Amino acid sequence: MWKRGMSIVVLMAMIVSISAISGCFGGAPPDFRNETEKYDLAVQQYNNAKTLYHQGNYPVAKAEFSAVIRHFQDNKSVFETISKGNYTSKEIYLSKKLVNNADQYSYAAAFYRDAADAAARGDKDYAYAIELNAEEFDQAARLTYEDIREELLPYLHNWK
């Protein structure tokens, strides 16, 4: 009898934990507007890290780039969820674009992080070589983000 009772308790615990992960018991779906604001904050943090890098504050820039990579990956996960969920076609379309843009920014941030690390060690030539790659991804990410913002801002403004 005791084993049967424990089996039920273990089964219920598994169901609750799986349901909590999948959002079945009250897990609210991501809000597109709030998530785009979080994405904007990640872009601002990336730009601040880039400013620190160009000012020569390499250790702090490296830490900031490491943090912003995690933010972009979190944003990517949320926008992947939105792009597969029950949202408007415009939100799904923009989410797919933001998923790709998050990858672009993550790559740029990773290159800048590595360049900051090399510069902090005093290896300026290696840092410069890495920075060239970072700038390519940075330019692609920035231009794509500007295009997305041109579509996103009117949509959010009309969405009220």
Is pLDDT above 90 for 3?
no
Could you tell me the pLDDT band of residue 147, with boundaries at 50, 70 and 90? very high
Rounded CA-CA distance 28/84 in Å is: 15
**Residue type, position 69, single letter:** I
And the tokens for 113?
Answer: 């992080």
Tell me, yes or no, whether 33 lies in a domain.
Answer: no
Tell me, yes or no, whether 19 lies in a domain.
Answer: no
Closest CA to 111 of 93, 97, 129, 95: 129
Tell me, yes or no, whether 45 lies in a domain.
Answer: yes
Q: Is the pTM of this model over 0.85?
A: no
Domain assignment of residue 44, given as a range: 40-155
Tell me, yes or no, whether 22 lies in a domain.
Answer: no
Measured between its terminal Cα atoms, the distance across the chain in Å is 58
DSSP alpha helix (H) spans, the chain: 2-22, 32-54, 58-83, 89-120, 124-159
Tell me, yes or no, whether 23 lies in a domain.
Answer: no
Could you tell me the pLDDT band of residue 159, with boundaries at 50, 70 and 90? low
Could you tell me the pLDDT band of residue 156, with boundaries at 50, 70 and 90? confident
To the nearest whole number, what is the mean pLDDT of the chain? 88
Is pLDDT above 90 for 13?
no
Tell me, yes or no, whether 63 lies in a domain.
Answer: yes
Rounded CA-CA distance 145/54 in Å is: 21
Q: Are 145 and 43 in contact (CB under 8 A)?
A: yes
Tell me, yes or no, whether 26 lies in a domain.
Answer: no
Provide the domain count of the chain: 1
Rounded CA-CA distance 108/141 in Å is: 8
Tell me, yes or no, whether 87 lies in a domain.
Answer: yes
